[in-house]
Chains A and B, each alone.
Chain A
Amino acid sequence: MTEQGRNERLLVRDIAHARAGDKGNTSNVNIWVYDPRDFELLKRSVTAERIKREFPQLVRGNVTRYVIEHLHGLNLVMTETLEGGVNASLNLDSHGKSWSYLILGLTLDTDEKR
C-alpha cells in the first residue's frame, strides 16, 4: 500500500476511545465505540490475533479479548507486554499508559468485501 493510501484509511481513534492499565507485567486496554453502529467494525478490526501480529516484540505473551456486547466495548488483556512490569521496564512509560494509543492508532478494517 502507498503511504497516501495508508493515510486515507480510518484509524480506530476515529470511531472509539480507549484506556490502558497495568497489573504486574500484564497490560489491558479497554476500547469503546462512540456509535454502536461501529461496533462490528471495531470487533472486526481489533482482534487478539491482529494485536499479537502487529506488535511481536512488545506483546511477548498471550492476548485475550473480552467482548462487552451491551456496552459496545472490548477489553484486550496482553500478558508479558510491559517489558518486565512497572518496576523492571526501562521504557519511559513503564506502566504502558500510552498503549491505549497503540490500539487507537491501528487502521480500521473497512474492506467492504467481507
Chain B
Amino acid sequence: MAKGNGTFRIGTGAGFSADRLDAAVDLATRGELHAMVLECLGERTVAFAHRDRMADPRRGYNALLEHRMRALLPACRRAGTVIITNMGAANPRAAAERTRDVARALGISALKIACIEGDDVTRLVRPDQPFMDEAGTLADSGRPVVGMNAYLGADAIIPALEAGADVVIGGRLADPSMYLAPLMRYHGWQNSDLPKLGAGTLVGHLMECGMQITGGYFADPGVKDVSNLAACGYPIAEVSADGSAVITKLPGTGGCVNEATVKEQLLYEVHDPASYLTPDVTADFSRVTLNDLGKDRVHVSNAAGRARPEKLKVTVGFDAGVLAEAGVSYAGPAAAARGRLAAEIVETRLKESHGISSPVRVDLIGASSLFATAGIARAHSEDVRLHVALRTTEREQAELVLWEVESLLCCGPAGGGGYRGVITPAVETKSILIDRDLVKPTFEILVS
C-alpha cells in the first residue's frame, strides 16, 4: 500500500464475528480497494475466544478465519488490497500462522502477514483495579478472569503497514482504529492533526458495522423499504486527504446508502455525540454534515477531534458458568393462559422442589418477552412459547431447567409441544481503564 494524495478507497469485509462472506468476496473482487477491514470482535466474542484458547491453545481466534482468508486472499492479492482485521481475538499469533498456511495452500507466496500482539494485559493488571463505570474491583467480582484485552489504536497498526504488511492481524484492535491507521499512513496525517484523526475515526465508526450503513439493521416494511436486502452489499468509503468521505457500495448489490442509513449509524453505540472516545482521539460527531448525492452515495464531512483519552479501556472477561435455555409452545384458544400456567408450574418447581434461588427468567414469547421488563404485554395470543432461562455456575441446575421444561409435555397444561433445550457456556464482561504505559504493542511479520 503506497502513500498517495488521491482518494483512499477502504471497504468493510465483515462487521461482526458471524458476518456474511459472499458479499466480501464480491467487494474484494470488484471494489478496487486500497484496504479492506474485517471487524469481528465484540465485548462478548473476545471473552468467548479466551475460553476457546484455554480449551485448546491452538484456537482462540475467529472461527471463520480460515474460511474468510481462503475466500479473500486471492482477490486481495490480485487487487493489491491490504487486509486489516481483529480476527486474531485471543490468539493473534495462531491466526497469523493459520493465514500463512492458507496462503501457502492457495499458492500465494511472499505474502507478508503482520501479527500484532500486546493487547492481552491479563498478567499486568492488579486485583485491586477498580471497574470503569461501577463500584468494586476485579477481586470483588469473585469470578475467575478468563482474559483482559486493552483496546489498541492506530499507533499499534501503522508500524505493521509501514513494514509492508499485506495482511494485518491483531486481537483487540479498536474498531475505528483499523480504518484510521491506513488513512493516516496514506494521507500522511500526524498524531497532532486532531481534526483529521476525528474525521478518520468518523469513517471507521460509520463503516465498522458493515451492512448497518448499507441497508442492514434498517428495513421496516412500509416505512423504510430496502431493495434486495438478501444480496446486500458491504460499504465502501472514498476518503479524501481533508478527511471528508463518500460512503457508498458496489453497483449491482442490494441494500441502500442514504441520509437515513448514515444518520442511524452515525450515533450507533455513541453516547455524547461530541465525545466519542477511542485510543486515538476524542472524536466529535456533533457537527457532522451529510449530503445525499443520490445513487447510494452520501458525502460526510465536518467531524472534529480533541486530544485522545489519557487511559486505555480494557475489556475483562469472567467465567460465568453456563446459560440454560428451554422452551415449549402452546397454540389455539387460550394459548396464553395455558402458557402462563406452564410458567407458574416451572417457577414453583424450580424454587420449591429444587431450591434454585438464583433468578430464573420466564418469558411467554408471543405475549410478553423482549418488552416484558418494559411492562408491555399482550393478554391474548393464540400462539405462544414458554421460554425459561437461567445463568448458573452449577451445571446440575442448568440441567434441571431443561428437565423441568421438558417434563411439561406430560405433566403441564394441555396441548404443549415443541420442546427444545440448550446449555451454552456463559461469560460476563466488565470494563476497566489502565495507564497507556502498561500496554506495549508489538508486531512480527510472517511470510508465506
Contacts and interface: CB of A to CB of B under 8 A. Distances in A.
Given A90-B359, A91-B361, A73 B263 contact: yes
A93 to B, nearest CB: 5
Contact of B373 (A34, A54, A57, A68): A57
Contacts of B199: none
B273 A86 contact: no
Interface stretch (B26-34, B233-241, B348-356, B423-431): B423-431
Contacts of B390: 90
B363 interface: yes
Nearest to B286: A68
A32 B288 CA distance: 15
A32 to B, nearest CB: 5
Nearest to A32: B263
A32 B363 CA distance: 31
Contacts of B224: 17
B391 A28 contact: no
Interface in B328-383: 359, 361, 363, 365, 369-376
B403 interface: no
B287 interface: yes
B207 to A, nearest CB: 15
B267 interface: yes
A70 B264 contact: no
Size category, B interface:
35 or more
A30 B223 contact: no
B370 A93 contact: yes
Nearest to A59: B374
B271 A77 contact: yes
A54 B376 CA distance: 10
B99 interface: no
A73 B369 contact: no
A110 interface: no
B428 A88 contact: yes
A63 B298 CA distance: 31
A22 B370 contact: no
B266 A30 contact: yes
A86 B45 CA distance: 11
A73 B268 CA distance: 13
Contacts of B370: 91-93, 98
B427 A87 contact: yes
B431 A91 contact: no
A41 interface: no
A92 B387 CA distance: 9
A83 B373 contact: yes
Nearest to B217: A19
B269 interface: yes
A19 to B, nearest CB: 4
Interface string A64-107: 10101011010101000001011110111100011000100100
Nearest to A99: B374
A50 to B, nearest CB: 13
Contact of A87 (B47, B286, B290, B363): B47
A48 interface: no
Interface in B416-448: 426-431
Contact of A17 (B223, B376, B391, B428): B223
Given A19-B217, A83-B373, A66 B268 contact: no
B270 interface: yes
Contact of A75 (B273, B289, B387, B429): B273
Contacts of A17: 220, 223-224, 260, 264
Contacts of B217: 19, 97
Given A57-B373, A58-B374, A73 B267 contact: yes
Given A68-B286, A86-B44, A87-B47, A30 B263 contact: yes
B335 to A, nearest CB: 19
B296 interface: no
A23 interface: yes
B318 to A, nearest CB: 8
A23 B271 contact: yes
Interface of A: 13, 17-19, 21-26, 28, 30, 32, 34, 54-58, 64, 66, 68, 70-71, 73, 75, 77, 83, 85-88, 90-93, 97-98, 102, 105
11 contacts: A23-B269, A24-B133, A25-B134, A28-B271, A30-B270, A66-B273, A77-B272, A87-B44, A91-B369, A92-B363, A102-B371
Which 5 A-B pairs rank lowest in CB-CB distance, beginning with the nearest? A90-B361, A21-B269, A30-B267, A19-B264, A90-B389
Given A23-B269, A30-B267, A86-B429, 11 more contacts: A19-B217, A19-B268, A22-B269, A24-B430, A28-B267, A55-B373, A68-B286, A71-B288, A90-B359, A102-B376, A105-B376
